[in-house]
Structures are given as C-alpha cells and as structure tokens.
Amino acid sequence: MIRVLDKHVADKIAAGEVIDRPISIVKELVENSLDADATSITVEIRGGGKEYIRVTDDGCGIDEKYAEIAFSRHATSKIRDEKDLDAIGTLGFRGEALASIAAVARVEMITSTEDETPGRSLRIDGGTIVENKPIGCPRGTTITVRDLFYNVPARLKFLASENGESRRITDMMSRIALAYPDVRFRLINGGRDVFSTAGSGNILDNILRIYGRDLEKDLLPVDFTRDGSIIRGYVSKPSLSTSTRSRQYFCVNGRVVSSKTVEKGLEKGYRERLFTGRHPVAFLFISVPAKTVDVNVHPTKKEIRFNDPFAVEDMVEEGVRKALSAGEAVASLDAKATKDTISQQAKEPAASVGETDQGVQVDVKNLLKTLRSSVEEDGMDYIPEIPREEGVSEEPERLDITSMDIVGVVLDTYIITTLEDTMYLIDQHAAHERVLYESLLTRYESEESPSQTLLTPLQFTVSAETSGAENEWIPALRRMGYDIEPFGDKVYIVRQVPASLGSEEAEAFVRQFVMDLEDKPDIRDHADLERLIMRSCKSAVKGGDRLHQAEIRSLLEQLDSCDNPYSCPHGRPVFVKMTRYELERMFKRA
C-alpha cells in the first residue's frame, strides 16, 4: 500500500539527510549568520552539541512577517527562480536547514531586523510552532537548539561521544573563523571559552587566537604571486612538523577546501627540508582566476578541482619554497627544539584540532560573492584579493652566510659562527653534503663549469650488467664534469673530475656512484639520478675532519650560493641558531 506520509514523519526523514549530527546544525546556523552579513557570531555548545547549541549573530535579522515561514520546508530568501538555482543550487541552498533542525530538536529563535523595533521570539518543538510573540532585542538572530534527536532516539546512537562531537565542532569553527578574518567569532564549550577572534581581518592574529600564541615563533609568512594568482598565509618552519596532515588548512577563493593538489605542492615545497612522513603546519590562502576552479563540486564533497592542477601545484611549491628560503627558517636552539628539532610535534593548539571526516563547506557566502563579482566584473578572470599582512614582505630575507664571523669548531663537527645578535651552529657534514649535491646537480643541469685533471687517473671495474648499461650512466657522469672512458673489459678510467670538488671527494663520489649503479643501473628518470647523486654525496663527505679557517670560509661561501643552504639533501638541518635573548634566558640574565 502506498500512502502519503504524515508531514512530521516526512520532515523527520528529510531532516536526517541534512542533519546527521550536531556539527551539521552548527554549520547550517553559522552559514545563515554569515549570509545575514553578521560581523559577530557566537557559538555556544553543551554536551557536544547534543544537549544545547546556541548561535547568536548581529546580522540582518528576520522580519516578523517571515519568522514562521523561515521554518517551513523550502523557505529561503536566497533563491527566487530557477535561474538562481542553476548558479547555486548544488551548494546547499535548499531552504530547508531551519525546517530540518526544527523537526528533530527543540528550537527557539529570537530575531530582530532593527535595534529599536521589537523583534520576534519563536518556539518550535519537533517541527510545530508552539509560541510566536513580540520581544525586545537587539538587531540580529539567536537560535537555540536543545535536545537534539529527542524525538528520533534511533539517531542518537550514531553520534560520537560528547568529546568527539565537540572536537568536530571545534575543528570546523576554527576553519570557519580562519576563512572569515573580518568576522568576530567566539566559541564556548560547556561554559568555557574555546577561542575568540577579533574580526580585525588579520590572518596571523586569527591563527594565534585560534591555535595559541606559542605557534607564532614557528611560523613563516608566505607571499607569492604569479600571473595574477596569489598565495598568502603562513607555514611552519621545518623545526615544527606533525605526523598527520591535520594541521593543514587551505582556503581557495574564499572557500575552505581540501585539495590533493595544494597538499602536493606544499609537500614538494618542503622537499629536502623535512624527513619523509613528516608534514608541515600550513595556513594557505590562495586566489586563482574564478574560471580555473570547478565550483560545481558536490555539496557534500569539499575537494576542489583546478582546471590546471599542475600550475597550481607548482605555484604552491614555489611560494612555499620561497617562504622557507628566509633566514628566519633556521631552527632555534631553544630548550624544546634541542631535543629533537625534526620530530617535534606541534604544540597542542588552544583549539585542539583533530582529524575529522566531515565535509566542511563553509564557503557559501564568499562563493556567492565570488560568483556575483565575477559576473559583475564581466569575466571569469576575476581573482579575489587577499590583503598582504602587516610586516610581511614579498622577498624574504635570506641568511647572510658570508657575513658570519667564524668563532671555531667544536667536536670536529660543529662550526660556530655569529651574525649580529645570533649564534649559529653549523653541521659541517650536512653543509658539505648540501654543497656537493647542489654543485653536481647544477653542473649536471648546466654542463658548463670546468673540470680538473687528476694527477693519477682513477681506474675501477664494474659488473657486466652495469657495464652493459654504460650508455646511460657515462653521459650522466660526463655532464657532471667527469672525463670517463671505457678502458678494457668492464674497466673504466677517469682522468678529469669536476673542479668544484676536491679530488678525494670526487673520487669517493664516483666510486660510490658506480657501486650504487650495481643495484639500479637505469637512471633515465631524473628522480632516480637525483637520489643516486644524493647517496653518493653522503659517502663522499668524510667524517670527523678537522677543518682549517680557510676551508670553513670556503665552505660557508659555497653554502651561501646554494639554493637551499638550510638542510642536507635528506632533510637534516645544516643550521641551528640561538639568539642573544635565548642565551641570556639560559643564564637567567633575562
């Protein structure tokens, strides 16, 4: 038998699609507040949002004529006809959030469109309006949701623990707050302030208010533009990394998104700066021409699609690499960092951020703006502006390695230098490895620096297999500056080596190089070649060598001309630093 369902039953079923847990209520209510142009939004939850959710805004409010209608299904002020629907229909403008919430909880709304005129107070229980009366209140809307799923107990058991639900909400609210730096947000959980932002538009201030002041010393600004596209924000110094990507936050054209493309670019930007398996903390704001992103993503999917993902990946990589080229990126030798500068975990942020599986689409308002402006500005070339943060410059200052004063070497390994008010420790082996690696790669790529002739030519024998593949590796060595030739059966002779290497280094390098070839003589892939060079450099660096002043000076000069002087090719730091202040603190002078 087919029958028409009772309205309340139908509402409850429909509600289940939109409202499956407290986070979806918070998301819908906060989106509504943003749509209402609120400048201040307060979210208060209790019992993980299962017991109590209240969202207060200072937005446009709802006129008393429409207060009840707002709670009926398909009631929306945002769509007038089918044309609008085409533009925004897939992004959650279904006009059913309030109706759905009201169907599965006890809801109260207080709203007013102006400060002076009285507003309305409504109470809706399980979808039925039980009260609607005038009330004096400031402009804006407050919606309180109590006893979620009190009338659909079956759904309650699908909810996570109180803490689990709170964590999801906190994570989402953190992301929303970051995406809207001009709006003041306040999140209260169980009567305790989780965070509040200032609405000042300052991204760094927002990050620190949400994740804690401690983070500041670990962040570097990103500021990069290419062909009008912009990437700004903050990334962590290599001394701060995490084991998951949960502390990466991307905002593209005003929308909080997750993106494999941006993730990849970020990871590549940190190549040789972090060990594999470690992930940077990142807050990246990216603006690209509206036409180059797919805005028609599914409403429950937060993944964004770029028309040219490689261009975006490349831009992120470049932007991040540039940020990391700042001398500021050198890790401080402070108490915590000394223990383990590489695997040190991010400090637990003020808002403890867990990984969530929730699709967070908090972009509607901005997206709508983007859509509108792109139409208004007549063209999908429109790129939303991201203001540059105060005190951030586009050209990060590199570490001036050549101006350092050399103090000495300790333990035959660590060079101590000073520059202005800071002391640096330099791992001579890591530095050396970096210098060898870059000089050989540069040489390989440019084919132009000179070679030097060995007094005694070098001879070595390889396996039949390696010998059979000589057409692959001999040219590679020649491009690096080696004069190498076959010299009988499986025997090769080297008469010249790259001038940038000492003859001992050059010999050690080439011996290791051919030895490693035994495992994998096919080096047509550039990445394989790079890996091979990297490994051979490592073994060309001798341990425990006592360096003379002149050798140190020359090492520092070569290091200075490296693209990335800050880490060895494997991601170990070359430099750590200690400021005068940190020294003074250690000796209890400050």
Q: What angle, rounded to 10 degrees, do the helices at 526-540 and 428-446 form?
A: 140
SS3 142: strand
Amino acid making up residue 330: V
Tell me how many helices (H) and strands (E) the chain has: 18, 25
Token pair for residue 290?
């509206």
Q: How many CA atoms lie within 13 A of 405 on its CB side?
A: 7
Minimum CB distance to ligand ADP, residue 35 (Å): 6
Residue 78 interacting partner from Mg ion, ligand ADP, none (CB closer than 5 to 8 Å by kind): ligand ADP
Nearest to 536 by CA among 564, 565, 578, 505: 505
Considering the complex, state which of residue 110 and residue 441 has its C-beta at the smaller distance from Mg ion: 110
Considering the complex, state which of residue 65 and residue 339 has its C-beta at the smaller distance from ligand ADP: 65
Minimum CB distance to Mg ion, residue 352 (Å): 28
242/570 Cα distance (integer angstroms): 17
Interacting residue ranges for ligand ADP, rule: CB under 6 A: 28, 32-33, 36, 57, 59-62, 70, 75-78, 93-99, 141
SS3 352: coil
Nearest to 272 by CA among 567, 49, 588: 567
- 392 to each of 318, 324, 326, 389, how far by Cα in Å? 17, 14, 12, 6
Residue 77 interacting partner from ligand ADP, Mg ion, none (CB closer than 5 to 8 Å by kind): ligand ADP
Residue 76 interacting partner from ligand ADP, Mg ion, none (CB closer than 5 to 8 Å by kind): ligand ADP
- 79-93 in b/e burial notation, b at 16+ Cβ within 10 A? beeeeeeebbeebbb
Considering the complex, state which of residue 32 and residue 467 has its C-beta at the smaller distance from Mg ion: 32
Minimum CB distance to ligand ADP, residue 185 (Å): 14
Considering the complex, state which of residue 67 and residue 97 has its C-beta at the smaller distance from Mg ion: 97
Per-residue 3-state assignment (H helix, E strand, C coil) for 321-343: HHHHCCHHHCEECCHHHHHCCCC
Amino acid making up residue 150: Y
Considering the complex, state which of residue 100 and residue 467 has its C-beta at the smaller distance from Mg ion: 100
Residue 36 interacting partner from ligand ADP, Mg ion, none (CB closer than 5 to 8 Å by kind): ligand ADP
Residue 93 interacting partner from ligand ADP, Mg ion, none (CB closer than 5 to 8 Å by kind): ligand ADP
Q: What is the DSSP letter of 200?
A: S
Residue 336 interacting partner from Mg ion, ligand ADP, none (CB closer than 5 to 8 Å by kind): none
Burial class of residue 299 in the structure, from the number of CB atoms within 10 Å of its CB (0-12 exposed, 13-18 middle, 19+ buried) = middle
Residue 75 interacting partner from Mg ion, ligand ADP, none (CB closer than 5 to 8 Å by kind): ligand ADP
Residue 61 interacting partner from ligand ADP, Mg ion, none (CB closer than 5 to 8 Å by kind): ligand ADP
- The closest residue (CB) to ligand ADP is 76
Q: Find out whether 148 and 25 touch, Cβ atoms under 8 Å.
A: yes
Interacting residue ranges for Mg ion, rule: CB under 5 A: 32, 97
- The length of the chain, given as a count of residues: 590
Residue 190 interacting partner from Mg ion, ligand ADP, none (CB closer than 5 to 8 Å by kind): none
- The closest residue (CB) to Mg ion is 97
SS3 540: helix
Minimum CB distance to ligand ADP, residue 37 (Å): 9
Residue 95 interacting partner from Mg ion, ligand ADP, none (CB closer than 5 to 8 Å by kind): ligand ADP
Token pair for residue 259?
């993106």
Considering the complex, state which of residue 139 and residue 278 has its C-beta at the smaller distance from ligand ADP: 139
Concatenated DSSP letters of 549-562: HHHHHHHHHHHHTS
Nearest to 555 by CA among 404, 418, 447: 404
Minimum CB distance to ligand ADP, residue 23 (Å): 15
Minimum CB distance to ligand ADP, residue 24 (Å): 12
Residue 301 interacting partner from Mg ion, ligand ADP, none (CB closer than 5 to 8 Å by kind): none
Considering the complex, state which of residue 185 and residue 513 has its C-beta at the smaller distance from Mg ion: 185
Minimum CB distance to Mg ion, residue 62 (Å): 12
SS3 55: strand
Considering the complex, state which of residue 19 and residue 431 has its C-beta at the smaller distance from ligand ADP: 19
Minimum CB distance to Mg ion, residue 170 (Å): 21
Torsion angle in degrees (nearest 10) through CA of 248, 254, 255, 256? 20
Minimum CB distance to Mg ion, residue 97 (Å): 4
Considering the complex, state which of residue 53 and residue 98 has its C-beta at the smaller distance from ligand ADP: 98
The phi, psi pair for 221, rounded to 5°, reads -75, 145
Minimum CB distance to ligand ADP, residue 34 (Å): 9
Q: How many CA atoms lie within 13 A of 254 on its CB side?
A: 21
Considering the complex, state which of residue 141 and residue 170 has its C-beta at the smaller distance from ligand ADP: 141
Token pair for residue 474?
């001999």
Minimum CB distance to Mg ion, residue 266 (Å): 32
Considering the complex, state which of residue 132 and residue 413 has its C-beta at the smaller distance from ligand ADP: 132
